Amino acid sequence: MTKIALLGMFILTSLAILFVGIFIIGNQQRLFSKTYRLQTEFSTVSGLTSGAEVRIGGVRKGIVDEIRLPSQPGGKVVVSVSIDNSTSSLIKKDSIAAIETEGLLGNKFLAISFGSPAAPGVKDWDTIDSAPPLDVSDMLKKSNEILETTHSAIKHFDTTAEHVGVMTARINRGDGTIGALLNDRKLYNEFSAISGETHATLVQAKVGVTAFQENMQALKRSFFFRGYFKDRGYLDASELTEWEIEKMPEAAPIKTFVFLAQDLFTKSTTSKLSSKRKLKEVGAFLEVNPFSLAVVQAFCSQVGDRESNLTLTQAQAMVVRNHLAEKFELDDTKLKTKGMGEDLAIEPGKEHWVEISVFAPAVVPTKTMPTSLDK
């Protein structure tokens, strides 16, 4: 073969190698495929460089074209990427870009998540959201903090174990009350006897309290005291909140009856009914009109003791409610009470009054539960 032929073969081989190299490099840099550009922003790129891979679902589908620093402090670092057009149906407006590391100490690359199917697609030069990068140095710092905390906990545990050992030794020697109880049988027996006597005393005290409560209930119904409780309107304070509603319905009532306390009770400051005739109108209305809830509210002015005023209004509301439930053909589970306690008089002379609010069948009653006498 002549020298000219050898030279020609060398040139052709070199050109072929050059073309293959150009094709490989161009393919890696997306020079021969259609691409579109996207941008994202980070507070720090954490070692990401231009030319780094862009992966979609773990597959290399683009490269980092440019990384631009912010124009002023406090700004974000802008990362521009070129991505293959075949991913346009996967990347959406809600896709997230994150800087990740290949392995523990490998190269940095940009990973972009799939978007949701309902989200709009991205266009050329759109900006997508980013996730803060997790740097290895941050992980090491956190690990050091955890190790320091663990070391401190172990140190405290050792100290505690040492103290427990000292206490156990003292107990074994009979030091202190516990040691004496464990090591002195006579003292233990005396302590057991005292405990038995204390338990017996507590049992007797409990029996005495029960007997006292029974005696008090009997006294309430005795000839000498029943008049007082009858005038008061109730025997036991626990009855006052038996039918109390926790919160008034938000809907407006279909009917509201308003009475001055002095027109219903012997005195405005008592809960004994004196005029039951005025409540006939209420009972008659409830018997012929469907309703889901009827709430008896009692109000009083701010004159006097606050707790006593609350108790008074609770008692007045309960007495009116019980009268309606007993004297009329009604579903008593729909009759509720609410002692409002102190309230400003809304007009001169109206310092104690009772309101009965009736709600339409569509109104769902508010859940009720017994409440304390405290307002």
Task: Identify the burial level of 171 via C-beta atoms within 10 angstroms of its C-beta, where 0-12 means exposed, 13-18 middle and 19 or more buried.
Answer: middle
Please indicate, yes or no, whether residues 250 and 261 belong to a single structural domain of this protein.
yes
Please indicate, yes or no, whether residues 44 and 148 belong to a single structural domain of this protein.
no
Assign residue 59 a region: left if phi > 0, alpha if psi is -120 to 50, beta otherwise? beta
Please indicate, yes or no, whether residues 150 and 95 belong to a single structural domain of this protein.
no
Q: What is the CATH number of the domain that holds 265?
A: 3.30.1330.60
- Last residue of a domain, which of 134, 151, 184? 134
Which tokens belong to 59? Answer: 């597959």
Whole-angstrom distance, CA of residue 108 vs CA of residue 49: 8
Give the DSSP letter of residue 331. Answer: -
Domain contains 353: yes
Q: Strand 108-112 and strand 255-260: pairing?
A: unpaired
Please indicate, yes or no, whether residues 157 and 43 belong to a single structural domain of this protein.
no
For the chain, the farthest-separated pair of C-alpha atoms sits apart, in whole angstroms, at 145
Domain contains 14: no
Domain contains 204: no
Give the DSSP letter of residue 85. Answer: G
Please indicate, yes or no, whether residues 351 and 279 belong to a single structural domain of this protein.
yes
Mean pLDDT of all residues in 209-227: 55
Mean pLDDT of all residues in 249-272: 87
Domain contains 375: no
Whole-angstrom distance, CA of residue 31 vs CA of residue 49: 19
Domain contains 278: yes
| CA distance from start to end of the chain | 115
Enclosing H/E stretch for 279: none
Q: How many CB atoms lie within 10 A of CB 154?
A: 10
Reduce the DSSP state of residue 41 to 3 states and report it: strand
Please indicate, yes or no, whether residues 115 and 69 belong to a single structural domain of this protein.
yes
Strands lying side by side in the sheet with 335-342: 255-260, 352-359, 293-300, 335-342
**Structural domain span for residue 327:** 237-359
Residues 240 and 318 sit within 8 Å (Cβ to Cβ): yes
Domain contains 149: yes
Domain contains 183: no
The pLDDT-based confidence of 235 (bands split at 50, 70, 90) is: low
Write out pLDDT tens, residues 264-292: 888 877 888 887 788 999 999 999 999 99
The pLDDT-based confidence of 373 (bands split at 50, 70, 90) is: very low
Please indicate, yes or no, whether residues 321 and 355 belong to a single structural domain of this protein.
yes
Please indicate, yes or no, whether residues 247 and 298 belong to a single structural domain of this protein.
yes
Write out pLDDT tens, residues 167-206: 777 666 666 666 665 666 666 676 677 777 777 777 776 6
Mean pLDDT is lowest, of 49-53, 81-85, 286-290, 349-353, for 349-353
Count of domains forming the chain: 3
Please indicate, yes or no, whether residues 121 and 46 belong to a single structural domain of this protein.
yes
Please indicate, yes or no, whether residues 251 and 343 belong to a single structural domain of this protein.
yes
Write out pLDDT tens, residues 292-340: 999 999 988 777 778 888 888 889 899 999 999 999 988 989 999 998 8
Domain contains 196: no
Q: For position 181, what pLDDT does the model report? A: 57
Please indicate, yes or no, whether residues 246 and 149 belong to a single structural domain of this protein.
no
Please indicate, yes or no, whether residues 122 and 94 belong to a single structural domain of this protein.
yes
